[in-house]
Amino acid sequence: MNEISRRDEVSLSGAALRGAPWKTAAVSGGATAAVSFGLGVLTDTAGLVWSLGLGISVFALVAAIGAVSKPNEGDRVTRQARLWALKHPWRFALLPAAITAVLDYPVQLVLDGEGVFGSAFQSIWHGALVYVIAGVLTLTRQGRARSSQ
């Protein structure tokens, strides 16, 4: 059997994300949130919670895709984890989705006032969207895993 535990999958995803472009992800997420809120102010549809949620989602997506975009960079463990992520895009996408949900929950809870369960639903929904997008984008990069072996 070549099955690994869920805990090992999370460890591999974390190792793949270790070399993610975190500064670029933070700048991208912050810029997205700022532009979204600014456009909302200009059009009288400003939504701080929505803008922050969008920024958090972009942050997680840029980190995830940046992590697997260069599978041959980094130390041996990082390279192997990135190759695993490229071969298992849906399992890898779970961690960026969880990061999104965890970061988005306090924003929803404090700023949106939907309560504990409404905020949890909204943050899980945002995490699910990141899961699908990160999974598809990682799937499109699978050729890099085959070409680097």
- Residues 103, 118, 40, 52, Cα dihedral to 10°: 0
The set of residues, in sequence order, having a beta carbon less than 8 Å from that of 17 and lying 6+ positions away, is 63, 64, 67, 95, 96
Domain annotation covers residue 3: no
Q: Phi first, then psi: what are they for 113, rounded to 5°?
A: 70, 30
Under DSSP, the state recorded for 112 is I
* Measured distance CA(35)–CA(37) in Å, rounded: 5
* Measured distance CA(122)–CA(135) in Å, rounded: 20
Domain annotation covers residue 120: yes
As given in the structure block, the two tokens for residue 12 are 């591999």
Domain annotation covers residue 134: yes
Using alpha carbons, list the distances in angstroms from residue 108 to 9, 27, 47. 28, 21, 12
Instruction: Kindly give the confidence (pLDDT) of every residue in the chain, 149 residues in length, as a single tens digit, with 9 standing for 90 and above.
Output: 467 888 888 888 898 898 899 999 999 999 999 999 999 899 888 789 999 999 999 999 999 999 998 888 888 888 898 998 999 999 999 999 999 999 999 999 999 888 899 999 999 999 999 999 999 999 998 775 555 55
Domain annotation covers residue 114: yes
- What sign results for the dihedral spanned by CA atoms 50, 64, 139, 97? negative
Domain annotation covers residue 110: yes
Domain annotation covers residue 2: no
Number of domains the chain is built from: 1
Domain annotation covers residue 1: no
User: Domain range for residue 27?
Assistant: 8-147
As given in the structure block, the two tokens for residue 36 are 């979204």
Domain annotation covers residue 16: yes
